[in-house]
Structure 1
Amino acid sequence: MDPSYLRFDLLDQIAMERRKFLGAISLMGLAGTIPPASLLAVEKKPFELAGMAGNDREYWWRLLYKIANPVTANLAEGSLKKNMRVEKSPSFDSRSIHVTYLEAVGRTFAGIAPWLALPDDDTKEGVFRKKMRTDALSGLTRCFDPASSDQLNFKTDYQPIVDAAYLAHAFLRAPKALWEPLDSATKERIIASFKSLRNRKPFNSNWLLFGSISEVFLLSVGQEPDTERLNKGVKKLNEWYKGDGCYGDGPNLAFDYYNSFVIHPMMVDTLKVMVDHGMATSKEYELALSRMGRYAIGQERMISPEGTFPPIGRSITYRTGALQALSQIALMEQLPTPIKPAQVRAALTLVKKNMYDVDGTFDENGWLQLGFVGHDPDIADYYTSTGSLYMATLSFLPLGLPATNEFWVAPAEDWTARKAWGGEKFAKDYHVDY
């Protein structure tokens, strides 16, 4: 067999024939002076092919901007609730649909935070990044203002426990970009909103970590945490650890992506702050990090040679959010041997092209729509609405690495499944005991 079929250029040529590549966001003029609707405009020419160092980063940040801008720009203008078209699952339960707005904000901010934390520069990327950071800060001021029509609900329903946690994660990922610049009144309102959640207990599942990370955020900004709520998530998830990089979601193992959506990233980042404040040991943190690394090995191996991953379990409408654990371990520059940053970049780039360059993924105003690949409301779960979908941003965490980092500049490499199915040498895999 001729191994030349493995070359990136030929594979991507085939992919390009199969579907149109995402159009590039128009960059004419300065981002700060272009109306939000114009910023969402899509050019007709395709992005550069995947796997070519120097182009992948531009593809990533433009795509992240396309996904997140409807949330951040409308929030800054005080028009999120007015302009966000809310679509809910056909099986949507009795919870208030108004929880969808906090979902959109918390999840979007958690995904864009590392990128916004980078210093300003005068590149095209830098102009758009600064615009999004400015919008994000303005939006935070508005959505915690009692006089604003976009004020977010923390006081009723249980769902705010979830999405306060993602907003807390955003503040932990980018404190200097998203927390410190806020005025004192907004900070006080955010702190009060987080504390208001204490009258509702998280469910006995991955939800316990939502309580933990919200409390550890309060600890990080000088507030007294609810220590029982803080410790319970870490304690119970460790009790539910099943081995080989997988935690149970409650006492039982669920074969889905919640180890990536929630458990590994929140466990590791909660423990890091606890260590910094003398509430956990470095050994506990290193163990959690090792477990996330082991899980990331599995995630990298699950990406097929064609750049797809299995639609397993619930919440698959969160799309590439399923790969948050792999994305975070890459951001932390803690990829385990033998995974190289360039193979992760190449794999994730092709996954994004396959997933987001499909008719129906976005509506005509740029909002994400229910579905996995394209638009399919029936695949959504009973708790899923438009705001839920912005978990997709969580696979963009490596944008927090500078453009000069190895992740972005090293020549693209085949990932494990591509090597294996191409008859190339690839690393064997073994169970671990930690």
Structure 2
Amino acid sequence: MTSARSFWINAAVVLMKPVLQSICNEEFKTAFPSPDARNEQRDSVAHYEALAKGLHGIAPWLELQEDAEAIEMAQLARRAIDLATDLKSSQFMTLTGVGAASKHPLVDSAFLAYAMLRAPTQLWAKLDSRVKANVIYSFNMTRPITPFQNNWVLFASMVEAFFFVNGIQPDEDRLLKGLQLHRQWYLGDGWWGDGPEYVHNYYNSYVTQPMIYDILDALQKSKLGLSLQNMFPNRDMKGVMELNTLIRKAIPRSAAHLETLVAPDGSFPVVGRSITCRAGAFHILSLAALKHILPRNLPIGQARTALTRAINRTLDHRAYDKNGWLRIGVIGTQPKLAQNYVNQGSLYVVSAVFLPLGLSANDPFWTEPELPTTWERVWDLKGEILAEHSGAV
């Protein structure tokens, strides 16, 4: 095993094992910190959020089952899902948020569904029928929730895509609306609005582009040989099919853009809301690596170098308290960087950076030599770099 992969595995275990182990020990709901009284309502959903968002990034690694750590973590994850969705369990995680967080179970159910789509054997097929029924009940409870008219519409689409892929009757309106709206919200050059307007933040990477890509990918893989139109013969799928074309061009371009932001010390621009997602800002880059769709002008070894540095910078020892829980911040403790909707569980969306662990140890992502990043090539004169051409998508 390469030293880089060992480093990534250790970082993923440090991030998520305390969450999973604590749930399995039936201690999580009392042990998980609630650091800020302003978030009392948000804290009502923090437990579900930590589990779901944490699993969505490590799910491909759990599915691979190539490492002893992944085998153990998958076992813990299944037990945690059982306890989290069992109404009689002390670790049952709320399906009805409180006050300002009343809609939030939709978000968390979407991320758990996302994890299950990414690890269909380890996080879904291996659950017994009782647990599956509890999960389905939990997801069904989100259907009355009307999402905000921004990236949230994809959360409803994700839950319904999970149902569709697993042979459970979806709500086609909820499934397709989020996709249709995002065809309308495409702004050009590989960027989507967060709603109809452009917003300068990392949400294209946190949520929008990865969810569009993976929802459409899951639908098409579940019905091989069928076009999107034939999957939904009574619907006008023109916009969704156009979105499918756009996202497949946008992901590689956005991945290349994100790589250029990483400095040699692993720092990157602190821009926009939810920046306490740390290296989760590089979700698109990690997804492109996992799916082998990095652009030609971004060598694999260069992408790995950038991601490794971002992990090292944002998830070093300063990121955790003495009990192993993530602190609010980009590095260390920086609570004032968090918006009022951010709770302790929100931070675990950083797991998205670990998607390439779903690639085998002999994949070129791990075996290709380390290469200088774009930042180094330009500012340290460590190699040639080609001019960028906008309007490519």
Are the equivalent residues in 1 in contact too, given 2:42–2:343 (CA < 8 A)? no
1:52-98 CA distances to partner (integer Å, 9 max, x unpaired)? x921110011011001111111122222102212224x754x73421
In structure 1, give the amino acid aligned to 2:386. Answer: A
**Counterpart secondary structure, 1:302:** coil
Alignment partners' CA distance in 1, 2:26 and 2:304: 36
| Cα 1:331–1:364 shift into 2, 3 Å | same
**Matches of 1:419 and 1:114 in 2, distance apart?**
31
Tell whether 2:103 aligns with 1:158. yes
What is the aligned partner in structure 2 of residue 60 from structure 1?
8
State the distance in 2 between where 1:312 and 1:135 align: 35
Contact 2:183 2:243 in 1 (8 A): no
Are 2:272 and 1:313 aligned? yes
Identical positions, percent: 34
Match of 1:234 in 2: 179
Amino acid at match of 2:320: F
Q: CA contact under 8 A between 2:43 and 2:344: conserved in structure 1?
A: no
How far off its partner does 1:145 sit? Answer: 1.1
Q: CA deviation at 1:199?
A: 0.8
- Structure 2: segments with no counterpart, 5+ residues: 224-230
Give the equivalent residue in structure 1 for 2:226: none
**Partner of 1:19 in structure 2?**
none
The answer to whether structure 1 residue 380 and structure 2 residue 338 are counterparts is yes
The Cα of 1:282 is off from its aligned counterpart by 6.6
Q: Indicate conservation of the 8 Å contact 2:264/2:309, yes or no.
A: no
Matches within 5 A, 1:125-164: 126-156=67-97, 157-164=102-109
Q: Secondary structure at the match of 1:198?
A: coil
* Equivalent pairs, count: 374
- TM-superposed CA distance for 1:285, in Å, is 2.6
**For residues 238-387 of structure 1, what are the structure 2 equivalents within 5 Å?**
238-275=183-220, 276-277=222-223, 278-279=231-232, 284-359=243-318, 361-387=319-345
Deviations 1:265-302 (A, max 9, x none): 10011112333442467764343121121111110111
Note the residue ranges of structure 1 that are not aligned, 5 or more in a row: 1-52, 121-125
TM-superposed CA distance for 1:433, in Å, is 4.4
Instruction: Measure the CA separation in 2 of the matches of 1:219 and 1:340.
Output: 36
CA contact (8 A) 1:87 1:369 kept: no
Counterpart of 1:111 in structure 2 is 57
The answer to whether the 8 Å contact 1:358/1:373 transfers is no
Q: CA separation in 2, counterparts of 1:207 and 1:271?
A: 16
The aligned counterpart of 1:47 is none
Q: Give, as a single letter, the amino acid of the residue that structure 1 aligns with 2:290.
A: L
Letter in 2 for 1:111: G
Q: Give, in whole Å, the separation in 2 of the partners of 1:402 and 1:357.
A: 24
Which residue number corresponds to residue 122 of structure 2?
Answer: 177
The correspondence of residues 393-404 of structure 1 with structure 2, limited to 5 A, is 393-404=351-362
Q: Is the 1:271–1:284 contact (alpha carbons within 8 Å) kept by the matching residues of 2?
A: no
CA distance in 2, matches of 1:148, 1:267: 34
Query: How big is the shift at 1:338?
Result: 1.0
User: Is the Cα–Cα contact under 8 Å of residues 215 and 229 in structure 1 kept in the other structure?
Assistant: yes
Paired residues for 1:73-92 under 5 Å: 73-88=21-36, 92=39
Code of the aligned partner of 1:408: W
SS at match of 2:187: strand
* Aligned-partner Cα distance in 2 for 1:91–1:345: 38
Shift in Å at residue 181 of structure 1?
0.3
What residue is the counterpart of 1:21 in the other structure?
Answer: none
Corresponding letter in the other structure for 2:310: V
